[in-house]
């Protein structure tokens, strides 16, 4: 059965309507917040679209979304050697983002975030971490973990200065050495602690000895002062007694009756029962 002219018109009109419908639906695009849209016209980048609803030419232009949010990748077993040739396994994480103003450059050079990460970020991270870690001895890498992280971040920023990406931060999360080396580090740290403890004990003993010396000198000074005071007292008392005796002797020599008076004052009223032949009777000469 042949189609009439009217039927053909209806079919043609339906096809045109469908094409127009698809064209209308394909003329709009939506970019979410945190994304940017790379608008291509026949494969050529013509502009970068901001978040929101936009219009594109159907069948001619296409839009590819690229995130401008933070992204993180991690090396769980990055192998490196320290300055003193100790093998180590590091866990390193890198957080990065693509600045909105560099989306066009990113797409032109790498096409996608995945390509940027594989071709630039991961390779540069391996090189930077190995080079910086190689400047630290094994013991310094453990004791100065913060400094190691700072130098890794600085080196990463320098290495990616010309790339269309911003490194938010590089974290050296773990550093693992061989069991034998970790045991030797622990033993050295224990020895260092023992040395420090001994040094502190020596300083404490020295201080205590100095305190005892000071106390002993103070006690000796106090005793010397006391002895000097006692000697001065004895000297003064002896001098006073000598002066008193001298004065008494002078008084007795000047007054002989004073001697007899002292004898009378000390006599108990009893005459002696014995007497040396030729000696005078006491108080006979008293008038």
What value does the mean pLDDT take over residues 48-56? 89
Residue 263 falls within a domain, yes or no? Answer: no
Contacts of 125 by beta carbon, 8 Å cutoff, 6+ apart: 75, 92, 94, 156, 170
Q: Tell me: do 141 and 59 sit in the same domain.
A: no
Q: What pLDDT, in 10s, does the model give residues 106-140? A: 999 999 999 999 999 999 999 999 999 999 999 89
- What local confidence, expressed as pLDDT, does residue 266 receive? 63
Residue 125 falls within a domain, yes or no? Answer: yes
Q: Could you tell me which of 54, 166, 67 has the C-alpha nearest to residue 107?
A: 67
Provide the whole-model pTM.
Answer: 0.58
Residue 107 falls within a domain, yes or no? Answer: yes
Mean pLDDT of the chain: 82
Q: Tell me: do 127 and 90 sit in the same domain.
A: yes
For residue 170, CA distances in Å to 16, 79, 134 come to: 56, 16, 17
Cross-strand pairs, 52? 31
Q: From the centroid of its chain, how far is CA 216?
A: 42
Q: Tell me: do 163 and 97 sit in the same domain.
A: yes
- What local confidence, expressed as pLDDT, does residue 247 receive? 75
Contact 98, 116 (CB under 8 A): yes
Neighbours of 130 (CB within 10 A): 14
Structural domain harbouring 205: 179-242
Q: Which residue has the higher pLDDT, 171 or 192?
A: 171
Picking from 146, 177, 208, the residue at the C-terminal end of a domain is 177
Picking from 134, 157, 177, the residue at the C-terminal end of a domain is 177
pLDDT-wise least confident of 23-37, 38-52, 147-161, 212-226 = 23-37
Q: Tell me: do 121 and 161 sit in the same domain.
A: yes
Contact 285, 259 (CB under 8 A): no
Residue 134 falls within a domain, yes or no? Answer: yes
Residue 155 falls within a domain, yes or no? Answer: yes
Which residue bears the tokens 């773990």? 174
Q: Tell me: do 150 and 136 sit in the same domain.
A: yes
Residue 41 falls within a domain, yes or no? Answer: yes
- What local confidence, expressed as pLDDT, does residue 286 receive? 46
Picking from 127, 148, 177, the residue at the C-terminal end of a domain is 177
Q: What pLDDT, in 10s, does the model give residues 249-267? A: 776 666 666 556 566 566 5
Q: Tell me: do 120 and 148 sit in the same domain.
A: yes
Taking the C-alpha atoms of residue 287 and residue 267, their distance in angstroms, rounded to an integer, is 16
For the chain, what is the domain count? 3
Buried-exposed string 206-228: b where 16+ CB fall within 10 A, e elsewhere: eeeeeeeeeeeeeeeeeeeeeee
Q: Could you tell me which of 63, 52, 64 has the C-alpha nearest to residue 26?
A: 63
Burial of 43 (0-12, 13-18, 19+ CB in 10 A): exposed
Instruction: Quickly state the pLDDT bin for 287 (edges 50, 70, 90).
Output: very low
- What local confidence, expressed as pLDDT, does residue 274 receive? 62
CATH number at residue 159: 3.30.479.30
Residue 131 falls within a domain, yes or no? Answer: yes
Q: Tell me: do 116 and 185 sit in the same domain.
A: no
**Sign (positive/negative) of CA torsion 133, 138, 144, 146?**
positive
- What local confidence, expressed as pLDDT, does residue 153 receive? 96
Which range in 14-18, 102-106, 206-210 is most confidently predicted, on average pLDDT?
102-106
Q: Tell me: do 172 and 97 sit in the same domain.
A: yes
- What local confidence, expressed as pLDDT, does residue 41 receive? 92
């Amino acid at each position: 059965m042949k189609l009439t002219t009217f039927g053909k018109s209806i079919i043609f009109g339906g096809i045109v309507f469908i094409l127009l419908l698809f064209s209308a639906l394909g003329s709009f695009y939506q970019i979410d917040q945190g994304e940017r849209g790379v608008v291509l016209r026949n494969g050529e980048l013509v502009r970068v679209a901001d978040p929101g609803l936009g219009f594109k030419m159907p069948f001619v232009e296409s839009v590819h979304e690229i995130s401008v949010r933070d992204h993180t990748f991690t090396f769980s077993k990055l192998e490196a050697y320290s300055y003193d040739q100790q093998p180590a396994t590091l866990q390193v994480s890198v957080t990065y983002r693509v600045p909105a103003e560099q989306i066009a450059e990113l797409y032109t050079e790498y096409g996608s975030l995945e390509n940027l990460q594989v071709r630039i970020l991961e390779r540069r991270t391996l090189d930077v971490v190995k080079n910086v870690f190689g400047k630290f001895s094994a013991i310094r890498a453990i004791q100065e973990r913060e400094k190691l992280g700072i130098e890794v971040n600085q080196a990463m920023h320098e290495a990616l200065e010309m790339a269309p990406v911003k490194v938010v931060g590089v974290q050296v999360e773990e550093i693992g050495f061989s069991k034998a080396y970790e045991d030797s580090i622990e033993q050295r740290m224990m020895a260092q602690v023992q040395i420090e403890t001994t040094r502190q004990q020596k300083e404490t003993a020295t201080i205590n000895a100095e305190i005892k010396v000071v106390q002993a000198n103070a006690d000796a000074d106090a005793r010397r002062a006391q002895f000097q005071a006692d000697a001065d007292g004895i000297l003064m008392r002896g001098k006073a007694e000598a002066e008193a005796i001298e004065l008494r002797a002078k008084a007795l020599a000047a007054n002989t009756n004073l001697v007899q008076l002292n004898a009378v004052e000390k006599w108990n009223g009893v005459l002696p029962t014995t007497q040396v032949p030729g000696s005078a009777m006491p108080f006979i000469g008293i008038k």
